[in-house]
Amino acid sequence: MNPLQRISRRDLLRFTMAAGVGLAVPTIAFGRQCDKSPGQGEGPFYMNTWDRNKPVPHHNDLTWVNDPSKKAEGEVIYVAGQATDLDCKPLKGVMVEIWQACRSGRYGHMADPNPAWLDPNFRYFGEFITDENGMYSFKTIKPGPYPVSSSWTRPAHVHFKVSAGLRAEMLTTQMYFAGDPHLGSDRLVNMVSKPEQKQLIIEPTRRPGASAEDLYTFNIHLVSFRA
């Protein structure tokens, strides 16, 4: 794990996060170099909904849709981090989009052939624009794995699409959960090097003062086009 990831995790844990509330600002030692985040494929289930008459809801809290009292099923988690360039300098105003399956392993996309149940109280998509310190946060649930074929089950993962406009490259990638039993045999995970896998497979930490709700710190490092 590179130094920025350790610093961000330590500082993020200093206060309790809530959906829609910013994160603590990590102390960054400029002059460091951050390893470029590895890219992964977008997959077939980006930006859609099973109901053609229902717009895709965007928010950084994916655990409810129309009524906050009706919660999505599954383990609530937080996914948060910082977007930087390769000099570890924060990137403000970066659009961070995520999408994922619900607890059953099914996506909210009409093309998903998975017969598993859909969760009507889960958003499936979220977005957040990074603050002046490059920070973003999401409240979501831990997605379920799902079968691709009789011999391949995808591990639980969250898709990311990160865009900084003309200031940096666009990145599409996936975040995985440490300890998932399907990681070792996953074809997409094994397409990237071991050092890159360490950037994509994240160990949880517990939010301070919380008896549940793990925090996954996923930092994003982009090639910057700034002069």
Domain boundaries defined on the chain: 3-222
Give residue-wise pLDDT tens across range 4-55.
Answer: 333 344 444 343 343 333 444 444 444 579 999 999 999 988 987 666 566 6
Residue type (1 letter), 189: V
What pLDDT is recorded for position 32? 73
At CA 157, angle to CA 69 and CA 6, rounded to 5? 95
Residue type (1 letter), 54: K
- 117-146 burial string, b = 16+ CB within 10 Å, else e? ebbebbbbbbbbebbebbbbbbbbbbbbbb
Which pTM was predicted? 0.84
Task: Give the span between the Cα atoms of 18 and 68, in whole angstroms.
Answer: 14
What pLDDT is recorded for position 207? 61
Model confidence at 208: pLDDT above 90: no
Mean pLDDT, rounded, for 136-151: 96
What pLDDT is recorded for position 213? 74
Give residue-wise pLDDT tens across range 168-200.
Answer: 899 999 999 999 999 999 999 999 999 999 999
Using only C-alpha atoms, the chain has a radius of gyration, in whole angstroms, of 17
What pLDDT is recorded for position 51? 67
Give residue-wise pLDDT tens across range 87-129.
Answer: 999 999 999 999 999 999 999 998 999 999 999 999 999 999 9
Residues assigned a catalytic role: 107, 146, 154, 157, 159
Model confidence at 209: pLDDT above 90: no
Q: Considering the domain 3-222 in this protein, what is its CATH number?
A: 2.60.130.10
At CA 124, angle to CA 34 and CA 151, rounded to 5? 80
What pLDDT is recorded for position 195? 96
Task: Give the span between the Cα atoms of 157 and 225, in whole angstroms.
Answer: 29
What pLDDT is recorded for position 170? 94
